[in-house]
Amino acid sequence: MKSLGVALISVAVGATAAIAEPAKLWEATGFKTPESVLPVTAEGFAYVSNVDGEPLNKDGNGFISKLSLADGKILEQEWAKGFDAPKGMARNGGKLFVSDIDKLVEVDEASGKIAASHDAPGAEFLNDVAVDKDGNVYVSDSNTSTIWRLSGGKLEKWIEGPELKYPNGLFVDGDNLIVAAWGPPGTGNKKIEARLGNLLTIGIADKKVADLGDGSPLGNLDGIEPDGDDFIVSDWVAGAVYRIGRDGKATLLIDTDQGSADIGYVPADKLLLVPMMKDGKVVAYKLQ
């Protein structure tokens, strides 16, 4: 068990900083392998993807829940069903886009019914999802170091290669896609044993890949959310959440148990939602 409190830490990217303890607001239990949290601020709830089993099992168990942002009460346990192992999510045009192992699924937000499914042939571990200003949908494949794009109703490989460092979290930042990299495979080529990753930027127009900052390794990065000029980023293996500046320097915010997955964040309220994948819960914090 790792302690949560006033922290003093020097991370790989060279930052040393003391921070005040984030206030824990509530803890919601009863989820089944929760992987991602996506706030819908205007309506006061968040979507929570439930793998409900192993992340690569095509077992039909997966579902999406609705969670109250105010108090952490589960509003609908199985709002949308029919998935295998749903993970990252993004919203656009009344649709919720959900990654599901080797396909990208569209859910009609009005009904909670699956409206369409797009196969990604050769994909192994579709993970996070992001949408750009033109409505193009990006989805990372962490196992093959690939990013796919849904454009004009067609899902195709957009960019691939080891320079992506096995991408996990995605966030569209103007004309760039910001990537939270899990890191290259370690001994035995197992994802869980990957070497440390860092934040990357990819030009949407030219697909130019660059490190954010000096590229120093930080962690096995998962979710990424913006907060002003900074990014809030989770580390699944270390059970940590960092604030990372555009210079790549990081400050530890939360040090918890392994399994801190694809976070959600409401900047206006400084509300951070951390799905604890191994513990079946979502924890809400008020950042300072």
Summarised one tens digit per residue, pLDDT across range 108-130 is: 999 999 999 999 999 999 999 99
Q: Coil, strand or helix: which one is 192?
A: helix
- Token code pair at residue 45: 């709830």
pLDDT band at 20 (very low <50, low <70, confident <90, very high): confident
pTM equals: 0.92
Residue pair 170/199 in contact by the 8 Å Cβ criterion: no
pLDDT one-digit tens code per residue, 140-186: 999 999 999 999 999 999 999 999 999 999 999 999 999 999 999 86
- Give the separation between CA 171 and CA 50, rounded to whole angstroms: 21
- Cβ(285)–Cβ(23) below 8 Å: yes
CA-atom Rg of the chain in angstroms? 17
d(CA 243, CA 227) in angstroms, rounded, equals 9
Question: Given a cut of 70, is residue 99 above it in pLDDT?
Answer: yes
Q: Which residues contact 4 (CB under 8 A, 6 or more apart)?
A: 21, 22, 24, 254, 255, 256
Domain 7-286 has CATH 3.40.50.300: no
Question: Would you kindly state where each structural domain of the chain is located, as residue ranges?
Answer: 7-286
